[in-house]
Structure 1
Amino acid sequence: MSDPLDKATSKAPATLGEGCLSRYDPDDLSPEDGTEFPDAAQLWEQLKEQQEETKKSV
């Protein structure tokens, strides 16, 4: 994906469920949809640490 505006005009992935239970169909997602996030675990740990520090300082 070289041009961000190309993304805005592409089709959205299929969804499952309805209303507040609606979510993207994992089988319809691809790397072009931004499904690759190799640093997710590291970010999750960092956010948990920040939340714990905030709780301790209150």
Structure 2
Amino acid sequence: MSDDPLDRATSTPPPTLGEGCLSRYDPEAMDEETGTEFEEAAKLWDELHPEAEKPAP
């Protein structure tokens, strides 16, 4: 698979659940091919919200 976002934009989207404004992608059908890898999300959140409470270990 190409890393070019334009190539991925033309692929078939994953199945959805719900209808209308409640429509959302089916989380069970999502994988790294559909852009669900957010390995750096926690790090980015910490950088953007340094004052946010940290969960107790």
Q: Which bracket does the TM-score occupy, shorter chain normalised?
A: 0.5 to 0.7
Query: Which structure shows the bigger proportion of residues in helix conformation?
Result: 1
Aligned length: 51
Give 1 or 2 for the bigger CA radius of gyration.
1
> Identity rate of aligned residues, in percent?
64
Deviation beyond 6 Å, 4+ runs, structure 1: none
Consecutive unaligned residues of structure 2, counting only runs of 5 or more, are: 52-57
What is the letter of the counterpart of residue 18 of structure 2? G
Consecutive unaligned residues of structure 1, counting only runs of 5 or more, are: 51-58
Question: Structure 1 length as normaliser, TM-score?
Answer: 0.64
The RMSD of aligned alpha carbons is 2.2
Give a deviation string over 1:8-56, Cα, whole Å, max 9, x none: 3211011112233221101111111111111111111222238xxxxxx
